[in-house]
Amino acid sequence: MEDQAGSQGGDAVNERESLFRRLSAACAGNGAASEAPFPGGAPVAPECDPVALFAKTFTAAGGVPLFGPAEQALSDLGEMLRAEGVTALFFPEDDPAAREIAEALVPFGPFNLTSGAEVREGSAAVTAGFRTAEAAIAETGTIVETSAGGKTLLPGLIADVHVSIVRVASLVARMEEALASFTADPPRNISFLSGPSRTGDIEQTLTVGAHGPKKAIALLLR
């Protein structure tokens, strides 16, 4: 019995290590950084660092930045999703990094994988939508997602929690720089996401999550 239990424990450890290797492979050249995560979402780098500035402004807008070794970042992300009551994860079929991260998170839930189409049709589950961002703006803490190449914007529109995968190389200082990268071939739709969805239209009372995600998380990868 002891040998069988030990074998099962070893299999679980090997499976988790395999998931982390797959995550690194999916983000080849843009793997998770070696620095420790921001404690409580607070930046640890100098203010002149665009990553630190983005973390500060994104946090001020109500978002949660995660930045650190893959294992720790995924563990923290899984804990956040469980705290929000998330049970289902979805991602664009043509987004390999989003797929790998969502799949790697399944054992941290337990979570189930679903599709954007199923969520759009009306899912009773609390969902988290994953998507790789085209850019992020440090000055305003804004994540930029577009429909370029036929990409879907559903993860940032219909999920209860939106997880944006932000490559540090895609960070720009100001809005003008983000827009400049789209001038040659402008996409049909662009989403500028700064924290969770909120509105004051209902009796001038601030409501979070009225027209989109109630929580916004940025997973920053080098």
- Pairwise CA distance, residues 43 & 79, whole Å: 20
Of 193, 26, 18, 213, the residue nearest 101 (C-alpha) = 26
* Predicted pLDDT at 122: 86
Residue identified by tokens 């070696």 is 34
Tell me whether residue 80 is exposed, middle or buried, using C-beta atoms within 10 angstroms of its C-beta: 0 to 12, 13 to 18, 19 or more.
middle
Q: What is the pTM of this model?
A: 0.76
Please give the pLDDT value at position 70.
Answer: 79
Tell me what pLDDT residue 166 has: 95
- Residue 56: CB atoms within 10 A of its CB come to 20
**pLDDT value of position 194:** 87
Helix (H) or strand (E) holding 18: helix 2-26
* Domains contained in the chain, CATH given: 50-221 (3.40.50.10420)
pLDDT tens-digit profile, the chain (222 residues): 444 444 444 454 455 455 555 554 544 433 333 343 343 344 444 456 899 999 999 999 999 999 878 788 899 999 999 999 999 999 999 999 999 999 999 999 889 999 999 999 887 899 999 999 999 999 999 999 999 999 999 999 999 999 999 999 999 999 999 999 888 889 999 999 987 755 555 565 545 545 568 999 999 988
Residue 21: the pLDDT is 54
Q: Which of 84, 9, 94, 33 is nearest to 222 (CA)?
A: 33
What per-residue confidence (pLDDT) applies to 64?
94
Q: d(Cα 37, Cα 101) in Å, to the nearest integer?
A: 17
